[in-house]
Chains A and B, each alone.
Chain A
């Protein structure tokens, strides 16, 4: 039970307004492109128009002749410094600038630096590159064919196969399937998409030759890890590197990797001794930086005739593009995809994933998702609906019959996770009541009789977020703990620095609320600072919904260390023993004599002016938190759609999202996260796709053809909640930023399939564009 602080203190549970907003609403944010340094110059990338081609020559002379051009860097130049390739975050390497050949359209080929960004762009046009086209591999299903072109001739293994990964009991699972009364199977492609934060990626690299220090202003979700990687790859002493991640205009996983442009800007600044700014265009962002998904999945469920699920079997082909630049923990080549058994209780499962190379942009990043959890949640929630169709049963009833019951937690899943806590039926019940499920089913029957198309889609998802624990989770070898440092100033105000980095999540407010909760210092008196590696404690950064579960926990633990010291000071000031003291947020008081009290502000002042003999001065603490387990947020989403038979257009009539993320820090911010995540889920279900033609040309490389929803396409979201605290988190929180994006795609697709199920439709791949629906209606004879 969380004790509630006053609104003035603004601890947990208060919807206090965001501290960061004042600068943003005045246009005073400080994003990377707003960083302007004296003598700064500008980089521009030359990119390949071909998806697969041999590089026969690069002529940079004309470009270099253009007045204002300072240098043109090629892969051959980088090779001399051993920087033509860099390691990816997942046991592979990636070309910084191409040498030998190019492997995807828009691959980085040369880097032009000029006094002015317009001149840099002009000069990029003057770089002459001689290409010899090679056969292109786009379809991952053909990657392992004997006649497929081998893409990565730099590797010892002359194959397009990257990895095979499996988990679970294959033999036991196969046996259950052999004997199963009912089987359901779905092939589902989770299409390649891109997080497309509104701010693209970029940096300003500033090497100061006089001090030897390199400062990199970077669009980074993980500034500390990036500093270490720059030190290791670039051979620059880490104490001479300062990464500053200023305001970040959205990340969603896109800003976790290190991109070639960053490396080129650093090299150029080292070479020229001047600050170098490089900011991607939107097309460059969509065509070359971390894509997500591209999972080609087959799921099967075995069940009894009366609807008890007995086993799940999953086979997946993962398209990683030209380099395996997946950003995920090193022991998990397919991320946390093995959460795919979902919210359901059955003993047996088997899951295998094979990764392959194709001539597409590299990546496999976690787009608003804890490492492939979105793919997993989508797959099980689609498969359960297909099973319901096989069994001719209601999808709600089937889910409720198979939910893991609350008394089974901590629950050991068949693929090895230990779910911390859950009450799946409780969330389902709130969702059903809110939307009025029975009445909707009745309406659907009536509409069908009139030939109208309406569907109801359900998704009861489970997430796994908040990595560590450190013994199992690391990225590029760095353990996935996270950190917080709190300093209480003599006047009782606090400074809080973190290993994470907000990209819009509101950390400056929510971390302050945790301090307010734990110490009783008003949130307004707590300044939260992130993103400067010179000042903040080391941490792994913000992605995979890990800020609240890990750094949030570190904040509580650091505050509790401060409280321990504060108690000693209070006992000194009140001339009593520590055992005689009780705490309520904001003060220690003598048991039974509440007027004999010292506030945290009194104590802070004394920590610098009147400390007990033998005690160190100051009131501060740092905590590096290693979570004992992950957290498992969950929820039930219900979507109602109407389909226009004339156009195939799907209209989302209602969408109810019931989330359970444990104890909530700021309800307003949680609701905002859910609205945003649902909108990205809507985009994925109906609009977003990075496609390729057979020659490897990107179809979806600008906002003209990579469609994002505007306010007009976005429905009004209805939210609700249940609360099942995490038993192992210091204040029972679980994390929420990604739940709506993880849980919603299945709800949308299930709704559309449900609307068409009486026509025999069992599955439609995303994005469900009107033409797709219209073609199905035509094929099924539902329209002329």
Chain B
């Protein structure tokens, strides 16, 4: 067993630190150290995207990074989307448009959609489909996820940026 190393990661605005083995996957850090189990593991080949989180503003599949590689970084997980008791428009959209069934892919889908909307405020259907193409869903057939993202885009445009929860 390799020597444990100190890792400090800011997760959803809170500093988290732990002594970890260098081989500990980031997803296991997230699920284990702060106990944030919303980030899921659905495959072992970086395909399914259920473990998607935002690392310093970029989406990463946290099953394909070591926790030590995220040392000093800021992370956003699904648990960080809701702020001050208020759902993010994307969360609202997924509920309103029936964008989820079993819910297992939903956290990763939300984070990928969040990243998409932060780069592109008004994506077309095709842009949304490409934006979530790193995330597999076995239940919904994606159509209502597209609608959910459109709902959020509309809501965010309507409400203006100031209305958004202040994340990270």
**Taking beta carbons and an 8 Å cutoff, which residues of A are in contact with B?**
17-18, 20-31, 33-34, 36, 118, 196-200, 247-250, 252, 281-283, 503-506, 668-669, 671-673, 675-680, 702-704, 708, 710-712, 714, 716-717
Contacts and interface: CB of A to CB of B under 8 A. Distances in A.
Contacts of A677: 141
B47 A703 contact: yes
Nearest to B93: A25
B87 A25 contact: yes
Contact of B104 (A17, A249, A703): A249
Nearest first, the 5 closest Cβ-Cβ pairs linking A and B are: A27-B38, A504-B102, A249-B104, A24-B103, A675-B141
A198 B138 contact: yes
Contacts of B8: none
B68 interface: no
A555 to B, nearest CB: 20
Contact of A26 (B23, B78, B130, B137): B78
Contact of A676 (B21, B87, B140): B140
Contact of B110 (A25, A199, A200, A675): A25
Contacts of A678: 141
Given A25-B110, A672-B144, A675-B143, A249 B40 contact: yes
A240 B45 CA distance: 39
B139 interface: yes
Interface residues of B, number: 56
B39 interface: yes
5 contacts: A17-B98, A18-B98, A199-B104, A282-B42, A283-B45
Contact of A33 (B41, B95, B105, B129): B41
A88 B9 CA distance: 47
B43 A702 contact: yes
B98 A672 contact: yes
A22 B141 CA distance: 20
B132 to A, nearest CB: 5
B128 interface: yes
B40 A31 contact: yes
Contacts of B101: 250, 504-506, 672-673, 676
B73 interface: no
In this complex, the member of A31, A197, A703 whose beta carbon has the largest number of chain B beta carbons within 10 angstroms is: A703
A17 B21 CA distance: 44
B106 interface: yes
B133 A702 contact: no
Contact of B138 (A668, A676, A704): A676
B138 A250 contact: yes
Interface in B55-83: 77-79, 81-82
B47 A714 contact: no
B37 interface: yes
Contact of B102 (A22, A248, A711): A248
Given A28-B38, A717-B143, A282 B45 contact: yes
Contact of A20 (B40, B48, B103): B103
B145 interface: yes
A679 B142 contact: yes
Nearest to A719: B143
Nearest to A679: B141
Given A249-B42, A252-B138, 11 more contacts: A27-B38, A27-B78, A27-B107, A36-B35, A197-B138, A672-B144, A675-B141, A676-B101, A676-B139, A676-B141, A717-B143
Given A672-B144, A675-B140, A710-B136, A704 B45 contact: yes
A22 B143 contact: no
Contact of B98 (A36, A199, A668): A668
Contacts of B41: 33
Given A24-B100, A29-B103, A250-B102, A283 B44 contact: yes
B44 A27 contact: no
Contacts of B81: 26
B98 to A, nearest CB: 5
Nearest to A672: B98
Contacts of A503: 102
Contact of B142 (A118, A506, A668, A711): A711
Contacts of B129: 710-712, 714
Given A199-B104, A676-B139, A712-B130, A25 B42 contact: no
Interface in B111-168: 125, 128-130, 132-146
Interface of B: 21, 23-24, 35-45, 47-48, 50, 77-79, 81-82, 87, 91, 94-96, 98, 100-107, 110, 125, 128-130, 132-146
B102 A21 contact: no
A779 to B, nearest CB: 33
Contacts of B35: 36
Contacts of A249: 40, 42, 102-104
A196 B146 CA distance: 22
Nearest to B24: A118
A199 B42 contact: yes
A27 B137 contact: no
A703 B64 CA distance: 15
B102 A198 contact: yes
Q: Which of B36, B125, B138 has most A Cβ within 10 Å?
A: B138
Contacts of A668: 98
Given A675-B141, A711-B129, A25 B23 contact: no
Contact of A711 (B100, B110, B132): B132
Contact of A704 (B47, B87, B96): B47
Q: Which of B45, B91, B95, B142 counts the most chain A CB atoms within 10 A?
A: B142
A196 B105 CA distance: 13
Given A505-B101, A675-B140, A675-B144, A21 B95 contact: yes
A283 B43 CA distance: 8
A747 B106 CA distance: 30
Contacts of A20: 103
B165 to A, nearest CB: 13
B146 A711 contact: yes
B42 to A, nearest CB: 5
A17 B94 CA distance: 10
A87 to B, nearest CB: 29
Contact of A250 (B23, B104, B130): B104
A672 B105 contact: no
A26 B102 contact: no
A671 B107 CA distance: 22
Given A198-B50, A703-B45, A704-B47, A680 B138 contact: yes
Contacts of A33: 37, 40-41
A34 B35 CA distance: 9
Nearest to A117: B28
A247 B36 CA distance: 16
B145 A250 contact: no
A708 B138 contact: yes
A23 B100 CA distance: 11
Given A27-B37, A247-B103, A702 B140 contact: no
B40 A26 contact: no
A26 B91 contact: yes
Given A198-B42, A282-B45, A702-B44, A669 B103 contact: no
B96 A17 contact: yes
B132 A199 contact: no
B29 to A, nearest CB: 12
A198 B21 CA distance: 28
Contacts of A679: 140-142
A714 B133 CA distance: 10
A469 B44 CA distance: 42
A197 B43 CA distance: 10
Contacts of B125: 716
B38 A282 contact: no
B128 A711 contact: yes
Contacts of B130: 711-712
A386 B58 CA distance: 52
B103 to A, nearest CB: 3
Nearest to B25: A118
